[in-house]
């Protein structure tokens, strides 16, 4: 089956309401209570600079400086960087840094504290003029690299190792509002927050992009549908490196065909009992779930090329 490049994706009447666990609402409440002592908000996001950014924060962002960090840039197609910056500026976000927090040395991480200090200094700080300690709050949807950013800041400014546990699964930072020092001169503390998602996502498509980036636990959405949406996205963007990676003859829109090829290449099969008219027989079939999981993981690790989903 060849690839005709579907123009729309069929979400099969899915509803995103049940994708968001309750601890996020609790986190949001505690974050609001802490905002009084915060000088600047650092928001972090990844492959999707527009989708899934939390609208609940917009009402508080006008009050204090705000920096948007677009992380995992080593995995992202940045050919339209200027277009992204223009679109973000129109929506009111002027301070944007592109980072790769897992890199040992990232120049943009070095810029973060000076940029933030300059922003804070250029505004009245109410009762805190004499105070040169700065307090930042780190916000963002789950699994975009908040813990990696904290560790990168500590590596850069304090020459210290990990302060925050890094997990490749959303929801590792369950402890609400941990205060962590990330810089000594000046003294900068950061409130790390649990990943908070908007309870309403404007469309199932946005939910799907978030799922693809690992923001929502895979099993809540289903690996099969995430893999199908990934295939649709790669074909739509003309990113066909999966063909060579998994030994396909050509690009394809048919996820079952693609997963079958992946399963064969990776030798991922399962034995199942088939009931026939003349008794039960055991047959070996491709393990589609294992193949789907490998396909999704390859995307998240950047093995299918650089992709910007928005």
74 is known to lie in a ligand binding site: yes
**CATH fold for the domain made of 23-192:** Rossmann fold (3.40.50)
One CATH from 1.10.3470, 1.25.40, 1.10.1580, 3.90.380 for 217-301 = 1.10.1580
Q: What is the dihedral of CA 80, 84, 86, 91, to 10 degrees?
A: 160
117 is known to lie in a ligand binding site: no
Mean of pLDDT over the chain = 76
Please report the pLDDT score of residue 175 as a whole number: 46
Q: Measured between alpha carbons, how far is 139 from 28 in angstroms, rounded to an integer?
A: 10
Please report the pLDDT score of residue 294 as a whole number: 93
Q: Measured between alpha carbons, how far is 66 from 94 in angstroms, rounded to an integer?
A: 8
Contact yes or no for 71/150 (Cβ under 8 A): no
116 is known to lie in a ligand binding site: no
133 is known to lie in a ligand binding site: no
Q: Is the pLDDT score of 212 beyond 50? A: yes
Segment 169-187 shows an average pLDDT of 66
pTM: 0.68
131 is known to lie in a ligand binding site: no
195 is known to lie in a ligand binding site: yes
Parallel, antiparallel or unpaired: strands 66-70 and 40-45: parallel
143 is known to lie in a ligand binding site: yes
164 is known to lie in a ligand binding site: no
119 is known to lie in a ligand binding site: no
Please report the pLDDT score of residue 172 as a whole number: 44
The confidence band for 3, taking pLDDT boundaries of 50, 70 and 90, is low
31 is known to lie in a ligand binding site: no
Q: How do the domains of the chain map onto residue ranges?
A: 23-192, 217-301
Give the lowest-confidence range in 48-62, 122-136, 165-179.
165-179
Q: Can 23-192 and 217-301 be said to share one CATH topology?
A: no
Q: How far is CA 101 from the centre of its chain?
A: 13
Q: Is the pLDDT score of 53 beyond 50? A: yes
Give the lowest-confidence range in 54-58, 95-99, 287-291.
54-58
Sheet holding 178-183, edge to edge: 96-98, 66-70, 40-45, 134-139, 188-192, 178-183
103 is known to lie in a ligand binding site: no
């Amino acid at each position: 089956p060849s690839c005709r490049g579907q123009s729309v994706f069929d979400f099969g009447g899915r509803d995103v309401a049940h994708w968001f666990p309750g601890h996020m609402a609790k986190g949001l409440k505690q974050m609001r209570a802490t905002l009084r002592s915060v000088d600047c908000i650092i928001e972090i996001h990844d492959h999707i600079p527009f989708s899934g950014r939390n609208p609940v924060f917009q009402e508080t962002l006008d009050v204090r400086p705000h920096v948007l960090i677009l992380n995992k840039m080593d995995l992202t197609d940045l050919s339209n960087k200027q277009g992204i910056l223009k679109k973000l500026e129109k929506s009111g976000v002027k301070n944007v840094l592109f980072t790769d927090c897992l890199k040992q040395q990232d120049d943009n991480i070095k810029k973060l504290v000076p940029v933030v200090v300059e922003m804070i200094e250029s505004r009245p700080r109410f009762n805190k003029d004499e105070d040169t300690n700065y307090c930042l709050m780190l916000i963002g949807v789950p699994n975009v690299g908040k813990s990696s950013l904290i560790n990168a800041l500590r590596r850069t400014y304090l020459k210290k190792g990990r302060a925050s546990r890094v997990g490749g699964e959303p929801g590792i930072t369950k402890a609400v509002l941990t205060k962590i020092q990330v810089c000594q001169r000046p003294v900068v503390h950061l409130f790390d927050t649990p990943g908070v998602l908007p309870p309403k996502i404007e469309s199932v498509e946005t939910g799907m992009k978030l799922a693809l980036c690992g923001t929502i636990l895979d099993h809540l959405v289903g690996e099969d549908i995430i893999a199908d949406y990934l295939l649709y996205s790669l074909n739509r963007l003309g990113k066909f490196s999966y063909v060579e990676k998994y030994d396909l003859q050509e690009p394809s829109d048919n996820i079952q065909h693609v997963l079958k090829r992946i399963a064969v290449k990776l030798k991922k099969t399962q034995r199942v009992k088939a009931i026939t008219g003349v008794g039960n027989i055991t047959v070996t079939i491709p393990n589609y779930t294992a193949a789907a999981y490998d396909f999704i993981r390859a995307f998240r690790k950047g093995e299918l090329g650089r992709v910007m989903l928005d």
